[in-house]
Amino acid sequence: MRIVGGRHRGTRLASVRAGDVAAHLRPTSDRVRETIFNLLQNGCYGDPVEGARVLDLFAGTGALGLEALSRGAEFVLFVDNGVKAGGIIRENIDTLRAIGLTNIFRRDATRLGPALCAPFDLVFLDPPYGKALGRPALSRAREYGWLADDVLIVWEEGAQQAVPEGFGIFDARRYGETWVHILHTL
């Protein structure tokens, strides 16, 4: 696993190791990550990454948030409740020397409380596939003030998802086993 674009392009990231099977981490492949960022930066969204405050829900290895940081995001908050995930994210933050530009919040993404900081412009939502965790996490993030009014959400799942109430969809595409949905608030 590596950073595929931006100032840290080619940097190898720590990933799920053979002994970490119990951590249930499923990192976004380099190819899908590159496709997501090409959609974001070359689509009709302007450049939602440059200068963005990014919220990476179900962060896993942190690859999506770190890719955004490499491509010009201002700050990334990683949310994951896994001990292994937290360790991998910390290792990857150290590799990119991004300590002052990131933070890790060890919390269940479906149980976010009130936002502790300014709202986020760009959200990556990559819950475990088939567990129906995306909707509650997104609803909770909106309910508790984590999302900016003009937020852009990239939701990755193993199947096409219905758009939650209060959100609209810009795009939904399938890449092998992965569906990528690009949402916005109404």
Cβ–Cβ < 8 Å for 96, 76: no
pLDDT in tens, 41-66: 887 778 899 999 999 999 999 999 99
Task: Name which of 133, 143, 135 is nearest 112 in CA terms.
Answer: 143
Write down the pTM of the prediction.
0.92
- Give, as one character, the DSSP assignment of residue 131: S
Residue 17: what pLDDT? Answer: 57
pLDDT of 16 over the 90 cut: no
**Rounded average pLDDT over 75-103:** 94
3 state DSSP class of 158: coil
Does position 13 have pLDDT exceeding 70, yes or no? yes
**Tens digits of residue pLDDT in 148-173:** 999 999 999 999 999 999 999 999 99
At residue 7, does pLDDT exceed 60?
A: yes
- CATH class label, 50-185: alpha beta
Does 19 have pLDDT greater than 70? no
- How far apart CA 137 and CA 139 sit, in angstroms, is 6
* CA 14, chain centre distance (Å): 17
